[in-house]
Amino acid sequence: MRINDIINESISEDDDFFNPEAQAFAEETKEYYKEYFKEFLQFGTVPVFDKQSNFVDPDAEDWTIKPEKDIMQSAGYRGQQNALARAGTPYDDGVQDYNPIAFTYERPV
């Protein structure tokens, strides 16, 4: 999908009726595009963002991708940490081993 298609994407009337949150988000996004993609809309120049936009919420709570202790870690998190370890970069050394029984509905015998 090209940038022009994304910018000019619209929501159908059915979506507006059945999903008003999506319509509100689409309107907000349209305003964002008008502000930050001015050159693209006028000249077709692909924008390069070299400074932070105003879409950062300073009051947002901090979060981390590291799962809480004693909670089963996802395969994606474990794979990411294993890849970081193999690459010799900093990683979480508390990654759990793969346990296929943890992902089945059968109880171990």
Task: Provide the number of structural domains found in the chain.
Answer: 2
pLDDT for the residue 9: 64
pLDDT for the residue 100: 65
The pTM for the full model equals: 0.39
Any domain includes 54: no
Any domain includes 90: yes
How would you classify residue 46: left for phi > 0, otherwise alpha for psi between -120 and 50, otherwise beta?
beta
Any domain includes 57: no
pLDDT for the residue 40: 82
Any domain includes 10: yes
Residues 68 and 36 occupy one common structural domain: no
Going by C-alpha positions, the residue among 54, 7, 1 that lies closest to residue 30 is 7
Residues 69 and 105 occupy one common structural domain: yes
Q: What is the mean pLDDT of each run of 10 residues along the chain (109 residues)?
A: 64 69 83 82 81 72 80 86 92 79 59
The H helix count followed by the E strand count for the chain is 5, 0
Any domain includes 94: yes
Question: Which residues have C-beta within 8 Å of that of residue 67, sequence separation ≥ 6?
Answer: 73, 74, 77
Any domain includes 79: yes
Residue numbers of the domain that contains 97: 64-109
Any domain includes 50: no
Any domain includes 59: no
